[in-house]
Amino acid sequence: QIQLVQSGPELKKPGESVKISCKASGYTFTDYAMHWVKQVPGKGLKWMGWINTYTGKPTYADDFKGRFVFSLEASASTANLQISNLKNEDTANVFCARKGFGVRWFAYWGQGTLVTVSS
């Protein structure tokens, strides 16, 4: 079955960097783009952007340009999100998500990775 399994929670200090991974299984990794979604605890969902898993080309939402980098380890069916120069407002649960076959909504989600930024 299709699964997206994310790396574990992270506790970081302001100014540090973090790398979150999302390992896909149960399908051909390069057939579907991987999206990233941010959720501040107790708040709503914000789409961060996506990466073309075939070409490696990332697309970032406006609020996530600059400190955020999407990358791939295609041989390991893994998508990564790196956030540099962490700020307190980066504290959030981050999800990877994938659309279904031939559809435009998110059919599959990772379990989420909680990133906590605190001095």
Partner 1 sequence: DIRMTQSPASLSASLGETVNIECLASEDIYSDLAWYQQKPGKSPQLLIYNANSLQNGVPSRFSGSGSGTQYSLKINSLQSEDVATYFCQQYNNYPLTFGSGTKLEIK
Tokens of residue 93, six digits: 């649960």
Nearer to partner 1, 27 or 47 (CB): 47
Question: Which helix (H) or strand (E) element contains residue 22?
Answer: strand 18-25
Q: How many CB atoms lie within 10 A of CB 4?
A: 20
Q: How far is the CB of 46 from partner 1 (least distance, A)?
A: 7
Least distance to partner 1 from the beta carbon of 82, Å? 20
Q: What residues make contact with partner 1 under the rule CB under 8 A? A: 35, 43-47, 59, 61-62, 95, 103-107, 109-112
Q: Of 75 and 102, which has the nearer Cβ to partner 1?
A: 102
When the beta carbons of 13 and 104 are compared against partner 1, the nearer one is 104
Q: How far is the CB of 43 from partner 1 (least distance, A)?
A: 8
- Residue with smaller CB distance to partner 1, 9 or 14: 9
Cβ partners under 8 Å of residue 81, min gap 6: 19, 20, 22, 36, 48, 68, 69, 70, 94, 96
| DSSP H or E run through 92 | strand 92-99
Shortest distance (Å) from residue 10 CB to partner 1: 17
